[in-house]
Structure 1
């Protein structure tokens, strides 16, 4: 431009613009946090490295925008969070309020990773610009608390029903005294005895369930013959008046498993008792054990009853769950039998399967590892 006779001021201006373009294109220095630790200034990259392997989901925010999310955070809410506005990510009024709180704090966020999920969110300001977000998953704790509350409520209801019946009949017997006809008094006494036995069974099952749950992490070591134990326990579960309905043709030979003898006996008794209660009167209940795949001993208890509709099967092992509450109570059931069976199977590292067809009957299968 100078050789072409261009004005020298215009040449100097063009040179300044050209030099400035190199300065603007240079890589900017990393974003750094003003906080000093042992004389080393932390950068966003350094913070990412610091929290990457933390077991808790953690985010670093630049204002309201997420600039760092560790592996646990990406797994919990997805990798799309980087660069996103935190208020959009959490979408919870309490969380939005916490994000704008200058002194930080904590809040509970519901539904962050799915329906029913619950997370404790904590925000710690680093300076006026940057802040650190930490998430703690509280879903399991809340589920346990909810299950405990439901269990107490159901147990209270189940205990209250026979107690109310006993108190009512006894009060009538006391008030009427000798004026009550002998036949009616006898009927009242029979009812009180039946309800007292029902209450006794319920308390016994509650204690059994509590013991099994307390020992669920203690794997049994004793070797037992599953076949012989099932024969004895099936006869005990049937009692003297129902022996003729038992079909034990499939219980032969010897198969060893590592088991708690009392709990395994209770498992077989519960399954046989259920099958005899809810199977068609006069029809047999088959009990068999065989060697299954993957070195498993497979116990099968089958009845020929009305069967269970498919929608009930996933809930049968819940405490106090009944497909027909009236029939269950009339048969003397507590609603805890299959819950106890499930926990015993879990303690023995086994598997429980329930199959049923309406009009054909129900088959319960328990698979336990064969002892070496």
Structure 2
């Protein structure tokens, strides 16, 4: 569709005025010295010069500028610039310059954003490949060893099959976690909202993870005695998964003889905030913005030894956001970390 052309008269008006003033001054001097000076001659001459200059500049110079401006707009249209195609084309240089500058800034931001996303995409694919490749090669190694003759030894056969089974379990966990995150992102995973006592749920998670914490002499505790129940409205199973992931991380990266503490506080009239605090390794500020990304590792080597799918915090974030709630993290390297999230109170 042909772009609408918006005329600008500012340049022609000012330029014609300058030409008229100059030629009128010359004409006045010429008439004063050589001929009889008449004001109506001067006025008539000025008017004719102004009109002639205006139309010449407006239509000739404007045509010259328009062809070049039109080419700029056509080139930008090829780049699908919605901001420039909405309005009519103008030959006003200041307006055009402002539009081009804005277009350039927007495109620069867009390109930088795409570059960042491309880096994240490459890193994500590399992490997925690594996470799947490690247990897969482990299973393959044990199976090939058995096929090469180790199957005849019952003790080795049982040990290798058990190790291969663990590798397959890890692959299953990774695939299940990826599937859950995808469903949460597209809204396919429905939440079963119910009212329950969050204090009781935390106690259940403590019981479930007690043996894991005991191995590192880490104490799982509340910040105080909660005598009365605190009722919230959420998906009980998913919130249990959130608490389990956060507490497992605090134990995994906690110090020997350390503490993992859970507190539940009233935030506003209809909200509570649940905090999971530890005195473990802590996380440097540089890692905090990307902490909830899939497969993002703070310690590339240590986290591998600890195992896990690398999707725990990403799942936590998606579950909390699926409840239309917020999750926060505060951490200081060498001091400890605190993860907190909000929940709706039961009425």
Deviation at 1:167, TM superposition (A): 0.7
1:45 paired residue number = none
Change in 2 beyond 3 A, CA 1:83/1:306: closer
TM-score (normalised: structure 1): 0.63
Query: Which aligned pairs between 1:1-372 and structure 2 lie closer than 5 A?
Result: 10-11=36-37, 14-22=39-47, 24=50, 57-58=83-84, 59-62=87-90, 65=91, 82-84=95-97, 89=101, 112-113=105-106, 115-118=108-111, 151-178=124-151, 185=157, 187-215=159-187, 222-236=194-208, 238=209, 240-242=211-213, 245-248=219-222, 250=224, 252=226, 253-293=228-268, 295-372=270-347
Deviation at 1:319, TM superposition (A): 0.8
Cα deviations across residues 220-264 of structure 1 (Å, max 9, x unaligned)?
75444333333323433x154547732135462333333222221
Looking at secondary structure, tell me which structure has more strand per residue.
1
Looking at secondary structure, tell me which structure has more helix per residue.
2
List runs of 5+ in structure 1 lacking aligned partners: 1-5, 33-55, 68-80, 91-108, 120-138
Cα RMSD of the aligned pairs, angstroms, is 4.0
Cα deviations across residues 300-340 of structure 1 (Å, max 9, x unaligned)?
11222222222222221111011123322222221111111
Rounded Cα–Cα distance in structure 2 between residues aligned with 1:256 and 1:316: 30
Change in 2 beyond 3 A, CA 1:197/1:218: closer
Deviation at 1:175, TM superposition (A): 0.8
1:117 aligns to what SS in structure 2? helix
**Which is higher, the Rg of structure 1 or of structure 2?**
2
1:40 paired residue number = none
Change in 2 beyond 3 A, CA 1:114/1:85: closer
2:148 aligns to what SS in structure 1? helix
2:5 paired residue number = none
Rounded Cα–Cα distance in structure 2 between residues aligned with 1:193 and 1:220: 32
Rounded Cα–Cα distance in structure 1 between residues aligned with 2:313 and 2:47: 77
Change in 2 beyond 3 A, CA 1:188/1:219: closer
Change in 2 beyond 3 A, CA 1:367/1:145: same
Change in 2 beyond 3 A, CA 1:154/1:359: closer
Change in 2 beyond 3 A, CA 1:353/1:159: same
CA contact (8 A) 1:270 1:341 kept: yes
Change in 2 beyond 3 A, CA 1:149/1:326: closer
Q: How many pairs are equivalent? A: 285
- The higher relative CO (CA closer than 8 Å, separation ≥ 6) is in 2
TM-score (normalised: structure 2): 0.67
Deviation at 1:153, TM superposition (A): 4.6
